[in-house]
């Protein structure tokens, strides 16, 4: 029996672990990967952060500044790996948590390596395992290939082909920038993408969004969702694409055919592959037995704590679990608050006993 079980050993789980170390509570972090780094280990090799290293750091230890202004995926994986080593975080991997079950005095995590019991659970499983692909008419008729950005490994397999890159965020822009060098790529976005000015990156966005968030707290108003973090940051590769004239987009097609798509005006295009850069949902299947997942796929929370299951906290899933919580720098606030709340809750229970 542990005091706390953290499910997920990516940046969110590690950040909670960092703060829990100081509490004296016993805890373990169960992670489904074979290596450190969370979802970053699956990202495509050229993925580049939209913030400089100092603005992509977890609590306690800043990410070392490398040669590039914007760190790449490899640097993040290295950083997370060194981070858990540095703070001797008790990560068990690979352990897949299949289900979390409720008992009167504890929660049980049922895993592929047996059962773990704990007085409280933090779910920090991210979104990478739940890629979102929108429905289009006749999608199943399409004979070409379809893959989500979660499974994109680089442009090589698309050389010489006709490709649709669907999605107007940073993933879509970055993948379009490199695929268009080897393939005939069309960028499909719901509306005209919002490009940030060349001198604005994730750091500036984070500062602005933090100021707005603090103002809202001071005014006693509820924090509104932060716009801007999804807008396209002009990292060097995207600027090069703009200079080559490929950073233009068209509105969505209306349906698939066996060999391509039909556009709004009735014209058809032959397409070899579609790359869906259409985002992610929270990966919460392991919580389904608790009957707390709502119709929108989320869990009702106050801060990061589940309202219906108060022994459960959820960290790092995006705005609904804390402002900018699905970013390296943004997860800190929710992680600290979570550790403090767990400590208070468990100590209170002990006093009551
Ligand atoms: P994850 O990294 O997904 O870690 C969750 C861990 O939990 C994984 O190791 C997984 O294996 C494990 N897990 C999941 N389910 C289970 C289970 N049932 N049992 C056991 N283990 C489980 N953020 C920035 O700050 N800057 C950026 O520039 C930036 N760029 C991004 C670009 C892209 C294309 C994307 C998709 C995201 C980007 N992000 C960026 C966002 C964010 O940093 C990542 O999404 C981050 O990986 C979230 O961390 P996490 O720890 O919450 O989840």
Per-residue pLDDT of the chain (353 residues; tens, 9 = 90+): 999 999 999 999 999 999 999 899 999 999 999 999 999 999 998 898 888 888 899 999 999 987 777 899 999 999 999 999 999 999 999 999 999 999 999 999 999 999 999 999 999 999 999 999 999 999 999 999 999 999 999 999 999 999 999 999 999 999 999 999 999 999 999 999 989 888 887 777 777 777 777 776 666 555 444 455 568 889 889 999 999 999 999 999 999 999 999 999 999 999 999 999 999 999 999 999 999 999 999 999 999 999 999 999 999 999 899 988 999 999 999 999 999 999 999 987 766 65
pLDDT of residue 57: 92
Q: Is the CB of 11 under 6 A from ligand 1?
A: yes
Q: Are residues 86 and 46 in the same domain?
A: yes
Give the separation between CA 92 and CA 34, rounded to whole angstroms.
Answer: 10
Domain that holds residue 40: 2-130+280-352
Number of the ligand 1 atom closest to the C-alpha atom of 111: 19
Q: How far is the CA of 244 from the centre of ligand 1 (A)?
A: 32
Q: How far is CA 20 from CA 14, 36, 241, 323, 326, in A?
A: 10, 19, 44, 21, 19
pLDDT of residue 67: 72
Q: Is residue 212 domain-resident?
A: no
Q: Is residue 292 domain-resident?
A: yes
Q: Is residue 317 domain-resident?
A: yes
Q: How far is the CA of 149 from the centre of ligand 1 (A)?
A: 13
Domain termination site, one of 260, 276, 292: 276
Q: How far is CA 38 from CA 70, 115, 134, 335, in A?
A: 19, 22, 25, 16
CA triplet 332, 172, 247: central angle to 5 degrees?
125
What tokens does 119 get? 């007085």
Number of the ligand 1 atom closest to the C-alpha atom of 11: 51
Q: Is the CB of 241 under 6 A from ligand 1?
A: no
Q: Is the CB of 131 under 6 A from ligand 1?
A: no
Q: Are residues 115 and 183 in the same domain?
A: no
Q: Is the CB of 8 under 6 A from ligand 1?
A: yes
ipTM: 0.97
Q: Are residues 269 and 144 in the same domain?
A: yes
Give the separation between CA 236 and CA 230, rounded to whole angstroms.
Answer: 17
Report the candidate in 4, 279, 283, 311 with the shortest Cα–Cα distance to residue 125: 283
Give the separation between CA 100 and CA 57, rounded to whole angstroms.
Answer: 30
Pick left, alpha or beta for residue 322 (phi over 0 → left; psi -120 to 50 → alpha; otherwise beta).
Answer: left
């Amino acid at each position: 029996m542990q005091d706390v079980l953290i499910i997920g050993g990516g940046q969110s789980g590690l950040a909670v672990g960092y703060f829990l170390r100081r509490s004296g509570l016993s805890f373990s972090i169960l992670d489904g990967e074979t290596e450190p780094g969370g979802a970053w280990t699956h990202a495509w090799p050229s993925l580049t952060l939209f913030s400089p290293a100092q603005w992509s750091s977890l609590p306690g230890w800043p990410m070392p500044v490398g040669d590039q202004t914007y760190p790449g995926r490899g640097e993040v994986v290295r950083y997370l790996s060194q981070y858990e080593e540095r703070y001797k975080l008790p990560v068990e991997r690979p352990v897949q948590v299949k289900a979390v079950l409720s008992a009167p005095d504890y929660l049980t995590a049922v895993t592929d390596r047996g059962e773990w019991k704990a007085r409280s659970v933090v779910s920090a499983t991210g979104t990478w395992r739940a890629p979102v692909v929108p429905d289009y008419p006749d999608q199943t008729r399409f004979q070409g290939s379809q893959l989500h950005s979660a499974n994109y490994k680089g442009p090589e397999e698309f050389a010489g082909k006709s490709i649709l890159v669907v999605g107007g965020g940073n993933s879509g822009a970055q993948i379009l920038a490199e695929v268009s060098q080897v393939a005939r790529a069309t960028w499909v976005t719901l509306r005209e993408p919002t490009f940030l000015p060349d001198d604005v990156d994730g750091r500036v966005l984070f500062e602005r969004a933090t100021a707005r968030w603090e103002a809202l707290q001071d005014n006693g108003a509820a924090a509104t969702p932060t716009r801007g973090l999804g807008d396209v940051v002009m990292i060097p590769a995207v600027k090069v694409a703009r200079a080559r004239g490929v950073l233009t987009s068209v509105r969505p097609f209306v349906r698939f055919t066996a060999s391509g798509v039909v556009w709004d005006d009735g014209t058809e295009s032959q397409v070899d592959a579609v790359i869906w850069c259409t985002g992610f949902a929270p990966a919460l299947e392991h919580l389904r037995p608790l009957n707390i997942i709502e119709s929108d796929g989320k869990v009702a929370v106050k801060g990061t704590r589940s309202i219906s299951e108060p022994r459960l906290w959820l960290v790092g899933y995006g705005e609904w679990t804390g402002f900018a919580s699905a970013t390296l720098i943004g997860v800190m606030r929710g992680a600290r608050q979570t550790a403090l709340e767990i400590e208070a809750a468990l100590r209170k229970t002990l006093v009551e006993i």
